[in-house]
Structure 1
């Protein structure tokens, strides 16, 4: 029963951060909920083994693996169509507008590119750590990061800071 209570407390404390993380990976609230629930179920099955090590790291890795598994199964090719630029809507919060811009830009990346960007820049993992989580080589992480950043510069130039704009 102590295991169950420990897990329940862990979920209660970490769910908000893990939900945000799942959303960053999927770009969709419902998929993020499904992803988190799936990872929580997996983590609960192994709770005795992981509770004294790094349960959040284990859970995040379970989310990445589940997300990649879904991506591989679906094999849906993304088709991007040129959409007319819409004038930014007035928003009282610059932070909200920035979050929306980032979410929209991340939504235009492939699943692997999005996972690499989230791992490297949101979770602040090294290339080696990201490769370990994704189960691939460091070179693959570097390639996906390079391609994703190049694509983000093209699709969301408004996210660049002033120094990067002048360098271009």
Structure 2
């Protein structure tokens, strides 16, 4: 009987990973800013979750793992000063990866790269994961006021960053005042 239960657990876990891990990786990447680091974080979270999958799958497995990934990224920021590694976008001597399917993904990630870790997390949770201010505060373990002020500051930075990266307006030879 125990073998049957384990097989069922394995099958549901595999199905969950196949259908939802991409979204968890995208969430982690928006929070931490590095695709490969996001994949590592999600993999670590999934390894830990597998041990308890029987209990996790009974309630809201995506919600549980979404929160676990957010916490893991936060832990990664907090220990950043202890690491001497530098994440890179492209690993040398590896085949090139296919281009992203979203045309503005690089622009978004570049703009988010100008934010602090907390600002990035607040923007990702509020506007990309559609969390409320209260949910964002709870997920990050900060006050509601911190979420509001951090969000305001981050959006101001993003507006400036994105305005700087836009091409200059098209000018014509005609003088608009005399035309």
Pair 1:18 & 2:24 matched: yes
**3-state DSSP of counterpart to 2:79:** helix
For normalisation by structure 1, the TM-score amounts to: 0.77
Residue of structure 1 in register with 2:116 after alignment: 110
Pair 1:34 & 2:36 matched: no
Residue of structure 2 in register with 1:101 after alignment: 107
Q: Distance in 2 between matches of 1:21 and 1:115?
A: 10
**Runs of 5+ unmatched residues, structure 1:** 77-92, 161-168
Instruction: Tell me the alpha carbon deviations over residues 129-153 of structure 1, each in whole angstroms, 9 at most, x when there is no partner.
Output: 1111112211111121111111111
Moved beyond 4 Å, runs of 4+: none
Q: Distance in 2 between matches of 1:45 and 1:75?
A: 30
How far off is 1:49 after superposition? 2.2
Q: How many positions carry a matched residue from both structures?
A: 143
**Runs of 5+ unmatched residues, structure 2:** 1-5, 83-99, 167-179
How far off is 1:46 after superposition? 2.7
Pair 1:139 & 2:145 matched: yes
Contact 2:24/2:69 (CA < 8 Å) preserved in 1?
A: no
**Match for residue 119 of structure 1 among 125, 130, 136:** 125
**More displaced, 63-72 or 11-20?**
11-20
How far off is 1:42 after superposition? 2.6
Higher helix fraction: Structure 1 or Structure 2? 1
Residue of structure 1 in register with 2:92 after alignment: none
For normalisation by structure 2, the TM-score amounts to: 0.72
Residue of structure 2 in register with 1:62 after alignment: 68
Q: Distance in 2 between matches of 1:65 and 1:71?
A: 10
Q: Distance in 2 between matches of 1:45 and 1:33?
A: 19
- Root-mean-square deviation (CA, aligned residues, Å) is 2.2
